[in-house]
A and B are shown apart, each in its own frame.
Chain A
């Protein structure tokens, strides 16, 4: 057993209201520099939709992630031989058009326009070329099903849905969507790290945050092709790759990352997971239907004395083990089995998990009157507005079992609380639902508390990062004393 600690995350999708506050918080802190205008380390997508960059989930186009060939894990987009053959041209690079061309507006025209019969307008200007542009795409162009005949209809997760189900998804007064906020998953088997020919990407030993060494990056952009979530970005100005850093400077000072901190719906949870690094390859090679269970097995019980002993032997600090024992992520992922990894079939073993949305029907329009639905307050899981198949493609590697279990448990918790607080659900119904969802009343209560009444401290269990211990092995900790601030210790330059 090779115990490592990882700062992992859970996003509770039923709580996301799609306000994009997280995206703005991130952009204002990290990507408002030249060359990063088009980057959204955190973005919020509408599902069904094609997301950002367009159709990123379609690896038939982008060749991201891993595949198992002859019992070996291979990166789809590159290999030792291909990296030489493609040395001057990587064939799987998204263009800026697949993200979008960032723009601003010529605001001064609002003030300088001469008096006339028309309102003055501010024309959009490309932030790359400085020329006037016709805006054709944006980072959330398909927000709230905008342009759904083009975008939502082409969501790769619709694969396997019947024509009837597809029609219902788009039918007026029945259409449904949910939000899907995305950041870097800080995977335990990151293909971006594996693909980098310069060894510039690395997974930080003490907390598993995946980072890019700006001094070693040589602009091969192999990571951009290899990441199936398209969460590494090329800074066209510095000629280096950049990505979500999970706000590690904030974590190191005990603060939640900016997107977590600012989340209006309080959908985000963060905490330590202990996992067995020796078994990563074995798990990543499992057949698709066993991947979720395999990844759960990879995550170790922080209360197990055996695990604690192995963690100590690996130099994991006592305070980190304690933090892992209180981790909300461990509860959501391993104990309650509510949170599921996104597209685990890409085999990067993401460390960001999602509680799939129940999207309950709260009201119905009957004969021109909007009425609350009370009889069947929480619909049958398999008759849900969001087809099970769709959620299974997104969170179950195409298999419905794990998703159905997570949804049934959520529904049981709601019925349980409804029986307690409102009383329009009989205690017997609630008890039966809990039994069927393999959930004790105590567990239901705990899920309810952590979902609905959670405090800052419960959502974000940030371990002391002990950078002093990690640093002294790497470099002189005084090297950049009094040289604080944002930006680079040495300015990145092309070719440097």
Chain B
């Protein structure tokens, strides 16, 4: 039986043993042994902290302090398990949340179950009762970033410097304007405007602490960015947004043309390298004759 009661489904042995583990976890939480709260905190850090604080004010998502006083437990539990269903059903409070978050909606969390949701709510309630929660949010200065931070952020983004915990550099999947060359990866969204989308340093920094989207989460859950990396990255992305302009979609045809050009050069080079290849012997000898 896994000892981590909030085992992520991808964790070894997690999938099959999860219900048993959860049951044990819930029982443990109800009884209140010290380990249970720690595991809930880890789960919160990995999945919720990127958008929520407890008593730190709104970031992308609302402050969760005393959330149980704002809405009843059944609604919250259903919303956590499947946020999209509530929105699709036209639930007025869910729509209001979306409005407040300027259109950002809560992503579904892989492996979320009503049991986990209940234990999370219990954890949030417990944290709300504290004078200062450990999830009161990141303090980010309002001072302009130093040029050195900017440079370091650029290096981290482009892969010039490795990430301390071994995560992949942003460039592998993302691009921003002004990267030069062929730009960055095109698997994931262009990050030129991400600073504006997330509305500022604090939200962006919080988000980077524990990226929660289905694609980012598995990559960074075990290899989180450190605070020394987050701030330069925020500086870099802030600068990218400030430089303004549109996302650099126009590089796409450039890429295609470049590819075609390279293919043509390759063919010409191959022809040059193998110019003495055997083309035909009989046909040139016979010429146009058919004898």
**A joins B in a complex:** yes
Q: Residues of A at under 8 Å CB distance from B?
A: 50, 53-55, 58, 61-63, 85-86, 89, 91-95, 97-98, 100, 134, 136-137, 147, 150-151, 154, 225
On whether the beta carbons of A98 and B280 are closer than 8 Å, the reply is: yes
B residues in contact with A97, CB < 8 Å: 280, 282-283
Of the residues B278, B283, B290, B291, contact of A93 by C-beta under 8 Å: B278
Given the interface contacts A147-B291, A150-B289, does A91 sit within 8 Å of B277 by beta carbon? Answer: yes
* List of 5 A-B pairs having minimum Cβ-Cβ separation, nearest first: A91-B277, A54-B282, A91-B274, A98-B281, A54-B281
Question: Is B278's CB under 8 angstroms from A50's CB?
Answer: no
Of the residues B273, B287, B290, contact of A134 by C-beta under 8 Å: B290
Binding site for A on B (CB under 8 A): 270, 273-274, 276-278, 280-283, 285-287, 289-291
Other-chain contact of A50, B277, B283, B285, B291 (Cβ < 8 Å) = B285
**Which of A61, A62, A136, A225 is the one whose CB lies under 8 Å from B286?**
A136
User: Given A134-B290, A136-B290, A150-B286, A91 and B278 touching (CB < 8 A)?
Assistant: yes
Closest chain-A Cβ to B282's Cβ sits at a distance in Å of 4
User: Which of A55, A91, A134 is in CB contact (< 8 Å) with B281?
Assistant: A55
Chain A interface secondary structure, helix, strand, loop or mixed? loop
Task: Report yes or no: B278 in contact with A62, Cβ–Cβ below 8 A.
Answer: yes
Docked Cα-Cα span, A134 to B290, in Å, equals 9
Further pairs besides A53-B282, A62-B281, A94-B278: 8, Cβ < 8 Å: A61-B281, A89-B277, A91-B277, A97-B280, A97-B283, A98-B281, A136-B286, A225-B278
A92 interface neighbour in B278, B280, B283, Cβ under 8 Å: B278
> In the complex, A94 Cα to B279 Cα: how many Å?
8
Residues of B within 8 A of A150 (CB): 285-287, 289, 291
Given contacts A95-B280, A98-B280, contact A89 B274 (CB under 8 A): yes
Contacting A137 at CB < 8 Å: which of B273, B274, B282?
A: B282
With A50-B285, A55-B285, A150-B285 in contact, is A61–B291 under 8 Å at CB? no
Bound: A94/B281 CA distance, A: 8
> Considering the chains assembled together, what is the distance between the CA atoms of A93 and B276 in angstroms?
12
* Cβ contacts under 8 Å, B281 to chain A: 53-55, 58, 61-62, 94, 98
Q: How many A-B residue pairs have CB under 8 A?
A: 52
Nearest neighbor of B277 in chain A, beta-carbon distance: A91
Rounded to whole angstroms, the CA-CA distance of A55 and B285 in the bound complex is 9
| Chain A residue contacts of B273, Cβ below 8 A | 85
> What is the CA–CA distance of A86 and B270 in the complex, to the nearest angstrom?
10
CB closest chain-A residue, reference B287: A150
A93 to B278, CA, bound (A): 6
Specify which chain A residues have a CB less than 8 angstroms from the CB of B290 in the assembled complex.
134, 136
Interchain CB contact under 8 A, A154 and B274:
no
Residues of A contacting B286 with CB < 8 Å? 136-137, 150
Question: A225 CA to B289 CA in the complex, in Å?
Answer: 27
Docked CA distance A146–B167 (Å): 75
CA distance A225 to B291 in the complex (A): 28
Distance of A85 Cα from B269 Cα, bound (Å): 13
Q: CA separation between A85 and B270, bound complex, in Å?
A: 11
B276 neighbours in A (Cβ, 8 Å)? 91
Distance in angstroms from A59 CB to nearest chain B CB is: 11
- In the complex, the chain B residue whose C-beta lies closest to that of A86 is B274
Q: Cβ of A61: which chain B residues have Cβ within 8 Å of it?
A: 278, 281
Task: Quote the shortest CB–CB distance from B275 to chain A (angstroms).
Answer: 9
Q: Which residues of A contact B285 (CB under 8 A)?
A: 50, 54-55, 150-151, 154
Smallest CB-CB separation from A93: which chain B residue?
B278
Q: How far is the CA of A56 from the CA of B286 in the complex (A)?
A: 15
Which residues from chain B contact A85 at a C-beta distance below 8 Å? 273
Complex CA–CA separation, A148 to B121 (angstroms): 98
Within the complex, the shortest CB–CB distance from A300 to chain B, in Å, comes to 39
Task: Give CA–CA (A136, B287) in the complex, Å.
Answer: 11
- Complex CA–CA separation, A94 to B280 (angstroms): 7
Q: Which residue of B lies closest to A134 (CB)?
A: B290
Instruction: For A54, give the chain B residue with the smallest CB separation.
Output: B282
Interchain nearest-CB distance for A140 vs B (Å): 14
A447 to B164, CA, bound (A): 89
**Which of B280, B282, B286 gathers the greatest number of chain A CB atoms within 10 Å?**
B282
Q: How far is the CB of B286 from chain A (nearest CB, A)?
A: 6
Q: In the assembled complex, which residues on chain A have CB atoms less than 8 Å from the CB atom of B283?
A: 97
A–B pairs, 24, beta carbons within 8 Å? A50-B285, A53-B281, A53-B282, A54-B281, A55-B281, A55-B282, A61-B281, A63-B278, A86-B274, A89-B270, A89-B277, A91-B274, A91-B276, A93-B278, A95-B278, A95-B280, A97-B280, A98-B280, A98-B281, A98-B282, A134-B290, A136-B290, A147-B291, A150-B287
Residues in B with CB closer than 8 Å to A92 are: 277-278
B280 neighbours in A (Cβ, 8 Å): 95, 97-98
In the complex, what's the smallest C-beta–C-beta distance from B208 to chain A, in angstroms?
Answer: 45
- C-alpha gap A136/B274 in the complex (Å): 28
List the B residue with the shortest CB-CB distance to A147.
Answer: B291
Q: What is the bound-complex CA distance between A86 and B276, given in angstroms?
A: 13
**Which chain A residue shows the least CB distance to B276?**
A91
How far, in angstroms, from A306 to B47 measured CA to CA in the complex? 89
B residues near A89, Cβ cutoff 8 Å = 270, 274, 277
Chain A neighbourhood of B287, CB < 8 A: 150
Report chain B residues within 8 Å CB of A100: 282
A139 to B273, CA, bound (A): 32
- A134–B286 CA distance with the chains assembled, in angstroms: 15
> What are the residues of chain B within 8 A of A91 when measuring CB–CB?
274, 276-278
What CA separation (Å) do A151 and B282 show in the bound complex?
10
| Closest CB in chain B relative to A3 CB, distance in Å | 39
Q: Which residues of A contact B291 (CB under 8 A)?
A: 147, 150
Return chain A residues, CB-CB under 8 Å to B289: 150
Chain B residue with minimal CB distance to A151? B285
Separation of A97 and B274 alpha carbons in the complex (Å): 20
> Which single residue of chain B is at the shortest CB-CB distance from A95?
B280
What is the distance, in angstroms, from B250's C-beta to the closest C-beta of chain A?
Answer: 35
A344 to B112 CA separation, bound complex (whole angstroms): 80
Chain A residue nearest to B275 (CB atoms) is A91
Residue in A closest to B282 when the chains form the complex, CB atoms: A54
> Which residues of chain A have C-beta atoms less than 8 A from B270's C-beta?
89
